[in-house]
A and B are shown apart, each in its own frame.
Chain A
Amino acid sequence: MMVQFLKNRALTFIVLGLLGTVPLLMFWSGSDYLSLATKLVCLCIAATSLNLILGYGGMVSFGHAVFFGIGAYAVGIPAYHSVYGGMDLIATSNGFFHIGFAIVLAALFALITGAISLRTKGIHFIMITLAFSQMMFYFLLSLDTYGGDDGLTIDERSQLPFISLDNSVHMFLLSFGALLICLYMVHRIVNSRFGLVLQGAKDNEERMAAIGYNTFAYRLTAYVISGAMCGLAGALFANSESFVFPELIDWTRSGELIFMVILGGGGTIIGPVIGGIVFIVLEDVLSRFTIYWHLPFGIMLILAVLLGRTGIANWFKSDGAIKKPAEGNHE
């Protein structure tokens, strides 16, 4: 048990250590992959937020990218008005406002849609979360002022004291710091009494309800926290790319987040980060060799599932049992 704990911890530190240093070392040795690394870190935050509800809470959200998109537009829209005027209430380039706005809007959207969605289970939950994200997608598409499907260029990144987000090293370090905070938060949450109830409700909801827990309230709280965290990821992503667009909310993006979690290992702290790294690095490396890179990528995905090799973080468990199939929301 103790050995296992240390092993997990060692894996976490190795992965984070590499993720935090390799892009910087490469940058200083003259090859600049910082913007790709920042994108990767933002997606890792989003996957980590999904892991909280999917991996630990058993809620398969197929519309999680909606929070990412909301967070991104929560930076893009105030920045647009700060440069071009109008909407004085939110027109600012203040980074604290941007990030706060992103978190609050995403949390609010999670609260409203979660209150409706969480009444359903299984495939119905998957589909209703998809429905809400599709609605938001078409809404953003129709916003002519903010570019519609052409997207919105962010002419001025969020302004923060002491650091400049135009500096790619600062941008990377800020995102990486945010990832560390989010990972630590998820770690604390799942080991708290709250987290134990959440995981208990995933395994056996009737029992948790029978012993007097309002599982709906626990789930909704987790859903809101997760949405807010994903909104933060979107806000950072918007700054890194300095461009936001409705397709961020497309259902395939939500799908990719699920893959990162499952591939890396749902219900482990470091799993989504590993999944994110594998996903982005494979995409970038394979697409350099051939435009038909989706073929090997798809075959690898299928084989990973068929051979029971998803959940990379679990490969390092010592008990020989490679994997128990990821817990879905089986009816």
Chain B
Amino acid sequence: MDTTLLFIQFLNGMQLGVLLFLLAAGLSLTFGIMDLVNLAHGSLYMAGAFICASLTFWTGSFIWGVLLAIPAVALVGYVTEFLVIRHLYTRSHLDHVLATFGLILVFDTSVHLIWGSQGIAVPLPAFLDGQVTLFTDVVFPTFRLVIILAGLLIAAGLYYLVNHTRIGMLIRAGASNRTMVSALGINIQFLFSMIFALGAVLAGIAGMLISPISEASIGMGNQIIITAFVVIVVGGVGSMKGAFIAAIMIGLIDTLGRSYLDTIFKLFMSSNAAETSAPAVSAMLIYILMAVVLALRPQGLFPPKARG
């Protein structure tokens, strides 16, 4: 087997994985702590992409676009929480699903009204737009490498935040026992708002990072949100470590499946049959993985401790 190609595909899988992690982290936080099923999490990803795209053209630089878009997305997240989400915490999961689906419609249509339906292609500065030679014949697009590094950096930052700060202690306590935290005399409403805004920022950053690769488009979040849910369920709801490992795993499985499944299938079936069935099976792979995990270990691979 071509090891160079394998290594490049590994990097591609990592890049998808860290993006999934950025989305899943916020989802896992809000779900683990507030017990909120937020289908509209993907809308914040879309909001990040569109806001960043506009700011990139306004400032003339993608870097400035991202830096300015981060507080903007935090604000969008906060307003969403203030207007809608905070009234849902005491409700059932079904009410969450219903109301956040309504939010998706509102977000998508608002984007259509503001930016039109055509989507926005986001330009990269020249130093990010090329390729880097990692060693001899491994050449990789610079920007994808930046995504991997940025994602790992944010993951490390989150790890520090959750495990070594006071707010992290509250987050961990909240994930395992919610009533306990409020008993400690913490302003739980404020904590929730901040966590929601943090989740929004993480999702927004994922959207900003993907926008120069694909583009900012309506409904982009609705496609990836289901995969992000798969990630947190496989990893164990409420667990940051689980979300990270599962995100990387699913990123790799999806990418390697797309790269090698047809070759593998050709070993035991006709080339024509392999070409048709491989894409279908590779699309199914992550769902098969989730069904297997849920059937054998319903709490996920790395559930948070003492969840009760």
Binding site for B on A (CB under 8 A): 60, 116, 119-124, 126-128, 130-132, 134-135, 138-139, 141-142, 144, 251-252, 255, 258-259, 262-263, 266, 292, 294-295, 297-302, 304-306, 310, 325-331
Contacts and interface: CB of A to CB of B under 8 A. Distances in A.
Contacts of B281: 138
B68 to A, nearest CB: 27
Contact of B284 (A123, A128, A134): A134
Given A306-B88, A325-B95, 15 more contacts: A123-B93, A124-B298, A128-B291, A130-B229, A135-B291, A138-B283, A141-B280, A142-B277, A255-B97, A294-B106, A298-B104, A305-B95, A306-B84, A326-B92, A326-B94
Nearest to B229: A127
A141 B283 CA distance: 10
A123 B230 CA distance: 11
A310 B96 CA distance: 12
B296 to A, nearest CB: 10
A120 B110 CA distance: 37
Contact of B99 (A126, A258, A301): A301
Interface majority SS on A: helix, strand, loop or mixed? helix
A240 B34 CA distance: 44
Closest 8 CB pairs of A and B: A328-B92, A298-B105, A301-B102, A142-B280, A328-B93, A302-B102, A305-B99, A295-B109
Q: Identify which of B277, B283, B287, B295 gathers the most chain A CB atoms within 10 Å of its CB.
A: B287
Interface residues of B, number: 46
A301 B290 contact: no
Interface in B76-101: 84, 87-88, 91-95, 97-99, 101
A329 B93 contact: yes
A264 to B, nearest CB: 12
Contacts of A328: 91-95
B178 to A, nearest CB: 11
Contact of A138 (B98, B233, B280, B295): B280
20 contacts: A121-B298, A128-B294, A134-B284, A135-B287, A144-B276, A252-B222, A259-B98, A259-B101, A292-B113, A298-B102, A298-B106, A301-B105, A305-B98, A306-B84, A326-B95, A327-B92, A328-B91, A328-B92, A328-B93, A330-B92
Contacts of A310: 95, 98
A31 B52 CA distance: 49
B112 interface: yes
B102 A305 contact: yes
B22 interface: no
Given A142-B279, A302-B99, A328-B94, A297 B105 contact: yes
